[in-house]
Amino acid sequence: MSERASEPSARSESASEPSAQREKLETVDGRSVLTMERRLRHAPEKVWRAVTEPERLADWFPAAMTPDLRVGGVVEFEFGADGTVTDLDPPRLFAYTWDDQHLRWELHPDGAGTRLVLVVTFTDRPGAASFASGWHVCIAALDLALDGRPGTDPGVDHVALHEQFVAQFGLDAGSAETTTDGWRVRYERQLTRPADEVWAVLSAQAPPGALRHGDVLEHDAEPGGRLRWELTEGTGHGARMVLTHVGTGGDPQPALAAGGARIAKLLAALS
């Protein structure tokens, strides 16, 4: 994989947070690029060992990992496909592939500490909040490990953090388009709850006459059209939901707003 975080022509989709902690989601060449910036209290040389040495990676990285530290070297992971080292410049830059993702770790001197920049390139944009919240927790665990406290719980509310990133990156927005037969509204959301819990709520909220077949629930919509809820395997621990509303006439914008309200009602019932 040849994606590079520093390449130009990126389209930003969110604003940055304050200087000590920043996140942004961009689209570059049709792929999603998540950039996360954190300040660590330790020098780049110490952080470098923590992001490259297997025994130190075990304190915070989400999978056992053994890298061959040379460009083109194999990176062995506990799960998922093995990766390849794409960039290496100790103690400043370490980048490699993992499945269909490209991870780039940049370590910049910042006083007595380090400005860490993580850039993750991937295809699954609806999963971006899950990736961001997961890496946030991992970097918090890295910081604790550098402080000599490996294994300490960072104390993060995963659900609240996930939903914060959903809003920050605009992942709660749906789309509306006209078709040859009318219009179609579509939402795709990564959820934080497993499919069985989501199905229980959807079934309870569905109107009389709703039909479920496999991973799909369909029913008529108010004030018109047809709704289709689909749950599939998602990123992290929750299901992936796709809500589609099709209609034959009129403006789809009211249906778009109604779809957002339906999802908000579902999330409220799941919380």
Tens of pLDDT, residues 172-192: 999 999 999 999 999 999 999
pLDDT at position 168 is: 97
In the 8-state DSSP scheme, what is residue 105?
E
Instruction: Give me the residues paired with residue 227 across strands.
Output: 219, 245
Mean pLDDT of 200-204: 97
> Could you give the residue ranges of the DSSP H alpha helices within the chain?
44-52, 54-57, 128-146, 158-168, 195-205, 253-270
pLDDT at position 8 is: 31
- Residue 132 CA to residue 129 CA, distance in Å, equals 5
Q: Is 141 helix (H, G, I), strand (E, B) or coil?
A: helix
Phi, psi angles (nearest 5°) of residue 71? -60, 130
In this predicted structure, the answer to whether residue 15 has a pLDDT above a threshold of 90 is no
Structure tokens at 234: 């998602």
Long-range CB pairs of 78-84 (<8 Å, 24+ gap) are: 84/1
Structure tokens at 83: 């990766």
- Residue 228 CA to residue 248 CA, distance in Å, equals 15
CA 169 and chain centroid, separation: 10
- Residue 249 makes CB contacts below 8 A (sequence gap 6+) with 182
- Residue 108 makes CB contacts below 8 A (sequence gap 6+) with 44, 92, 114, 115, 116, 117
pLDDT at position 82 is: 96
pLDDT at position 223 is: 75
pLDDT at position 2 is: 32
Tens of pLDDT, residues 118-151: 999 999 999 999 999 999 999 999 999 999 998 8
Q: Is 206 helix (H, G, I), strand (E, B) or coil?
A: coil
In this predicted structure, the answer to whether residue 16 has a pLDDT above a threshold of 60 is no
Tens of pLDDT, residues 43-86: 999 999 999 999 999 999 999 999 999 999 999 999 989 999 99
> Could you give the residue ranges of the DSSP H alpha helices within 195-252?
195-205
pLDDT-derived band of residue 153, with 50, 70 and 90 as boundaries? confident
- Percent of the chain predicted with pLDDT > 90: 85
Please compute Rg for the chain using Cα positions.
21
Q: What is the pTM (predicted TM-score) of this model?
A: 0.88
Instruction: Give me the residues paired with residue 94 across strands.
Output: 88, 105
Closest to 255 (Cα-Cα) out of 216, 228, 234, 232:
228
* Whole-number Cα distances in Å, 172 to 25, 44, 196, 211, 242: 14, 37, 22, 26, 12
Terminal Cα-to-Cα distance of the chain (whole angstroms): 39
Matching residue, tokens 């579902």: 266
Amino acid, res. 38: R
